[in-house]
Chains A and B, each alone.
Chain A
């Protein structure tokens, strides 16, 4: 009998074997989250749905590139959605190609315990609460970076502060957010072993 609630890793294996139903399960599980992420960036529901569609198709086609040792399937999917959304926004503005922003995901040595635990254990409201507890300028900085796809230099221009200040706000924000979430979830912080770096397998 098919497991009605298979783990994401099981889904990934099934998708890798060509199981379309597994992709459907993945869609049912994360499409609403993916749509929220896309919509937050592009602010157009039709465009956001197209992005979600294309992201799931990408997962289907490129599942052989997914390495569960470097992160969760959910995280991988959301990275795809977010980067495509940013690409779309950037394209509309005729600005630079930002596809390389995805490189950070390629450098993951594994799921970071803090962030992963927070996503697994905390509610949407709790996560939002942790973000909203950041000082306003720090929250603004990480939202401009992640949801609007701005570089810290652009954030500096937008917010009228020196580049070092904008970059510093990102750093302060993530340090504070990580510590807050770590205390909320009692999850260990990132292990200090060396960071293995892999060439982009694409």
Chain B
């Protein structure tokens, strides 16, 4: 059966009930079943009796303890994620157009971390930096070298990185290291503490140019700062760092450091 489906009768809907309950219908069939149910006075008792079957399948699996750090990561994310903020990062354009109009939004706001091209380009940059770092091993490791080492180790773990450049600011370069899901950390060495008890605040900026605060930190002199971002970088185009007197919801210019998150 191919192409758009016409209306389904009761029997056809009942026949598809199990596949419906298990999410095993083609999009056109799913739409047709939903359209039928929306206007049908019949109880479709069998179909209804199947709803929820997936819960049993999921519950038949042996539970598996997550890594110890996952809870902290989650709590860090939600601490910076307002519930009222229903805006979700716009996924990077998928490599293949969906065959049907996606019904995203709500709980289907899957954060598609399709960052391959951008990350690959950034990885090249970091690979070069890694080479420089190897040369620097001839001398004592500086904070910046240790930052590069941390980046390199992250890359060896399958992660990639974006270079974070100072914007006319007397600061070293850093790297934003991201995993395949878009979870990222800023790694920067030798970043001086700010005067006046200010702190660094991290921002992600999307195509709508609205900055989203994703963390703050106060570095120790000559130490390597590794700062996890509080949300995925998926869908954002720019990473930025500003100086603030306290955590704020809107950045204070100038932008001290920034990275472009697209290739």
A binds B: yes
Task: Give the B-binding residues of A (Cβ under 8 A).
Answer: 16, 18, 20, 23-24, 27-28, 31-33, 35-37, 39-40, 46-47, 49-54, 56-58, 60-65, 71, 74-76, 78-80, 82-84, 86-88, 91, 94, 96-104, 107-109, 111-112, 114-116, 118-119, 124, 127-128, 130-131, 142-143, 145-147, 149-153, 155, 163, 167, 170-171, 173-175, 177-178, 181, 189-190, 192-195, 197, 200-202
**Interface window among B81-89, B143-151, B252-260:** B81-89
Is A146 a contact of B22 with CB atoms below 8 Å?
yes
Q: Please give, as numbers and ranges, the residues of chain B lying within 8 Å of A80 by CB-CB distance.
A: 107
Count, chain B residues at interface, CB 8 A: 84
Q: Is B139 among interface residues, defined by CB-CB distance under 8 A?
A: no
B17 at the interface (CB under 8 A from A): yes
Closest chain A residue to B2 by CB distance?
A153
Inter-subunit contact A37/B15 (CB<8 Å): no
Q: Does B124 contact A (CB under 8 A)?
A: no
5 of the cross-chain contacts (CB-CB < 8 Å) are A33-B61, A96-B98, A97-B100, A115-B53, A201-B106
**The residue from B44, B62, B111 contacting A36, defined by CB atoms under 8 A apart:** B62
**Are A36 and B63 in contact, CB atoms less than 8 angstroms apart?**
yes
13 more contacts with CB within 8 A, not counting A24-B75, A178-B50, A200-B106, are A46-B179, A50-B181, A108-B52, A124-B60, A127-B56, A131-B56, A146-B57, A152-B24, A170-B18, A192-B48, A194-B42, A195-B44, A197-B38
Cα–Cα, bound, A83→B106 (Å): 13
**A58 x B179 contact (CB < 8 A):** no
**Given A39-B64, A145-B24, A171-B18: A75 touches B78 (CB 8 Å cut-off):** no
Interface: B23 (CB within 8 A) = yes
B48 touches A190 (CB 8 A): yes
Q: How far is the CA of A53 from the CA of B45 in the complex (A)?
A: 36
| A97, B103: Cα distance in complex, Å | 9
Question: What residues on B are CB-neighbors of A202 within 8 Å?
Answer: 103, 105-108
Tell me the nearest residue of chain A to B41, going by C-beta. Answer: A194
Across-interface contacts of B85 in A (CB, < 8 A): 61
Is A181's CB under 8 angstroms from B56's CB?
A: yes
Interface assignment of B49: CB less than 8 Å from any CB of chain A: yes
Query: Do residues B23 and A102 form an inter-chain contact, with CB atoms below 8 A?
Result: yes
Q: Give the chain A neighbours of B95 by CB distance below 8 A.
A: 94
